[in-house]
Structure 1
Amino acid sequence: MTKTRQKKIPAEERRNVTVEAVIDLAASTNPDTITTAAIAKHMKLTQGAIFRHFPNKDAIWTAVMDWVTRTLMTRIDGAAKDIESPVGKMEAMFLAHIGFVSDHPGAPRMLFGELQAARKTPAKRLAQSLMAQYGARLHDLLTAGKTNGELRDDLDVEAAATLFIGTIQGLVMQSLIAGDMKRMKAAAPGVFAIYLRGISKDLARS
């Protein structure tokens, strides 16, 4: 009987496919319980095939968080790129972030898991770096919004940035609990409008 040969895939592509497999699994499984055996089974490979591209599980998790960071930041930056208004950029970022989570529901579960982990790992440092990058983008936009008169003069920029991220996290958590990511996308524009009412100079007076 002739054994079926696995198709040879370039190393970089194999690593990318492994990352995608982990994110797919995380959409319906607690990331802490995802084993390399489960990843291999999901990919229809042996564990040995995975370890030819990653030395250990920590390396896989680091690659996953690197992908989440790069992909999310690219998406939100791309959404805001051609918009001049700081408030308009923030709205585009908000909706793009929600769209990213809707497309990859396992990503926030991986992010939350790493941020809550007690161990200081390369993956956790990437998760913290992502939050720092995101916060810096928001800080700059909120400051610009105050400068150009779109936002309240007395706005607490740090608090507004925290609330922006917390609002997204709240929508994500509710959708994950309900198992309905479409609900999150439908609710996002209205939720952002409420957030904007609290920080906008004009809307705060109405």
Structure 2
Amino acid sequence: MMQTTTTVTPAGRERAPRLDNKTRREQIAQAALDLVSTRGYRALTVKRLAAKVGLTPSGLYRHFPDKAAILDALLELVADALQGNVQRAAAMKGSALDKLAALLRLQVETIGTKGFGAPRLFFSDDLSMRHPEKQTRLREIMEEFTGGIAAIMAQGQSEGLIREDIPSANLGIMFMGLFQPGALMNYLHRGAFEMQRQAEAAWRVFAVGLTAKGVEAPSLYS
């Protein structure tokens, strides 16, 4: 179990609990992602981020030397979440269709709890102009993610469950459309959008065009 201690300043103000460096870095990266997702790239300042995690700016610099390093950690947090979802789904028992349904559920859960689908990160002009190398890394992350989906699609094609006239790579990108619009609506509704209901409806329509003749896809939540 993670051990933390809380100290009090001479003035009686409680400081943030002391965490090990790895845990603190993950906390800072998540807080940075929250700021970008909800308020945009320009809201990500060292002062604002430090306050969000209960540190002073100098305390934040003990974990990250500069803003570029914070962005690196933020992007790897996104990469870990996306690849983690693909790996978890791919490792599940069942057919490729079962795994695709599981992956969609995982994506909806991730977006709903961590905001990884917020368009402000993926389509930030400030990020691409100020840090083009970060935009390149983000593109790589998304290509790795869609590549993982394509692998599951290819498995389904080999199983005779998924139509073979459309390349698995194209199907992997199409799959993104099952949750990205819901992510946008969830952002616009400040987290109150019913993403599960939207994903269920999108999955039913998508599955009709995805599956081979005579194959019925599993339902998403029932």
Interval containing the TM-score (normalised by the shorter chain): 0.7 to 0.9
For these two proteins, the number of residue pairs brought into alignment is 204
Q: What letter is aligned with 1:68?
A: V
Distance in 2 (alpha carbons) for counterparts of 1:64 and 1:93: 22
Q: In the alignment, which residue of structure 2 is the partner of 1:100? A: 110
What's the CA shift for 1:116?
6.6
Q: Which sections of structure 2, spanning at least 5 residues, go unmatched?
A: 1-8, 217-222
What's the CA shift for 1:84?
3.0
What's the CA shift for 1:3?
4.2
| CA pair 40-140 structure 1, distance change in 2 beyond 3 A | same
Alignment RMSD: 2.7
Q: In the alignment, which residue of structure 1 is the partner of 2:220? A: none
Q: What letter is aligned with 2:52?
A: H
Distance in 2 (alpha carbons) for counterparts of 1:50 and 1:27: 20
Distance in 1 (alpha carbons) for counterparts of 2:18 and 2:215: 60
- TM-score (normalizing by structure 1): 0.85
Q: In the alignment, which residue of structure 2 is the partner of 1:14? A: 24
- Is structure 2 residue 97 aligned with structure 1 residue 79? no
Q: Is the 8 A contact 1:114 1:127 kept in 2?
A: no
What's the CA shift for 1:42?
1.4
Q: In the alignment, which residue of structure 2 is the partner of 1:165? A: 176
Distance in 2 (alpha carbons) for counterparts of 1:142 and 1:65: 26
| CA pair 157-12 structure 1, distance change in 2 beyond 3 A | closer
- TM-score (normalizing by structure 2): 0.79
What's the CA shift for 1:91?
1.3
What's the CA shift for 1:94?
1.3
Q: In the alignment, which residue of structure 2 is the partner of 1:42? A: 52
SS in 2 for 1:162: helix
Q: Is the 8 A contact 1:25 1:34 kept in 2?
A: yes
What's the CA shift for 1:61?
0.9
Higher helix share: 1
Residues 67-146 of structure 1 correspond to what in structure 2 (within 5 A)?
A: 67-105=77-115, 108=118, 109-113=120-124, 117-118=128-129, 119-121=131-133, 123-146=134-157
Q: Is the 8 A contact 1:198 1:204 kept in 2?
A: no
Q: In the alignment, which residue of structure 1 is the partner of 2:10? A: 2
SS in 2 for 1:201: coil
Q: Which sections of structure 1, spanning at least 5 residues, go unmatched?
A: none
